[in-house]
Amino acid sequence: MEEADIERLKAIAKDIRKDILIMLNKATSGHTGGSLSVVEILVALFFSKMRHDPNNVHYRERDRFVLSKGHAAPALYAVLSRCGYFDRKELFELRKLGSHLQGHPDSKFTPGVEVPTGSLGQGLSMANGIALALRLDKIPSRVYVLLGDGEVQEGQVWEAAMTAAHYKIDNLCAILDNNGLQIDGWVKDVMNIEPLGKKWEAFGWEVLEIDGHDFNQILDALDKAEKIKGRPTIIIAHTIKGKGVSFFENQVKYHGIAPNDIELEKALKELDSN
């Protein structure tokens, strides 16, 4: 990856972060921390890795993306809007009555959203189904699914993990946003999920571990995953909850709280100064 491309992605990520904060502030509710932790992953996918076309949303050969951790919807919406799926103005109607942007992603309302998510633990099963259908139809597209770390406490995730390995679903790549926090506290304190990599390996997956805020590492891992055949791949992305705004980082409080006006102003200033 050229340095200029990385700089372009970094600039986009900064704008996305600003949009996320403004839309959450205007909505007065929503998930700040877990939206900020996935920004680089989403930007790498939608602005570099994935084949998709906002002007032809449902074209068959597109790569598919499933946001299994649906509460990061603001990040997805900001990215989709910037790609051109809908007007940026719509971002600021998030969560309002009549908005195209529901509190959690909903394919019935929002172009670019493949399936509705929000109830945790269900996205990997759906992504498996999409990947199996693509394989049956001999469509060479890939399926990306983004999981939360707290989310893998759901039993269905491990049912789906078995399925992906059993059916050798290699046109699918899961990415795990390992930001370490969930709504009640540190994941390790609430319900320990470690050893995470060994668990996925034991379930038959190829496991890659990266810094989830480093574009070079993300894109390398996504390329590597595409070459792995005969089994699914998971990229465990080590991230920081609330990434990019110092006073949101690693703060459990901001899992499900939107920035107020003062916090927003401070946060935007901080983002602009970096």
Binding stretches for another protein (CB under 8 A): 106-108, 114-119, 122, 124-134, 136-137, 155-156, 159-160, 162-163, 166-167
Least Å distance between CB 257 and another protein? 24
Minimum CB distance to another protein, residue 106 (Å):
8
Whichever of 45 and 160 has its CB closer to another protein, that residue is 160
Give the three-state DSSP class for 38: coil
CA gap 39, 109 in Å, rounded: 22
Q: Are 38 and 75 in contact (CB under 8 A)?
A: yes
Least distance from another protein to the Cβ atom of residue 129, Å = 2
237-256 burial code (b ≥16 CB/10 A, e <16): bbbbbbbbbeebbebbebbe
Q: Tokens for 51?
A: 């084949």
- Under 8 Å between Cβ of 259 and 54: no
127 close to 120: Cβ distance less than 8 angstroms: no
Cβ at position 95, least distance to another protein in Å: 17
Nearer CB in complex with another protein: 109/247? 109
Give the type of residue at 152. Answer: V
- Closest approach of Cβ 160 to another protein, in Å? 5
CB closer to another protein, 20 vs 126:
126
49 vs 64 by CB, closer to another protein: 64
For residue 122, the minimal CB distance to another protein (Å) is 5
When the beta carbons of 43 and 72 are compared against another protein, the nearer one is 72
CB 232 within 8 A of CB 165: yes
User: 35, 11, 13: which is closest to 24 by C-alpha?
Assistant: 35
Q: Which is nearer to another protein, 13 or 130 (CB)?
A: 130
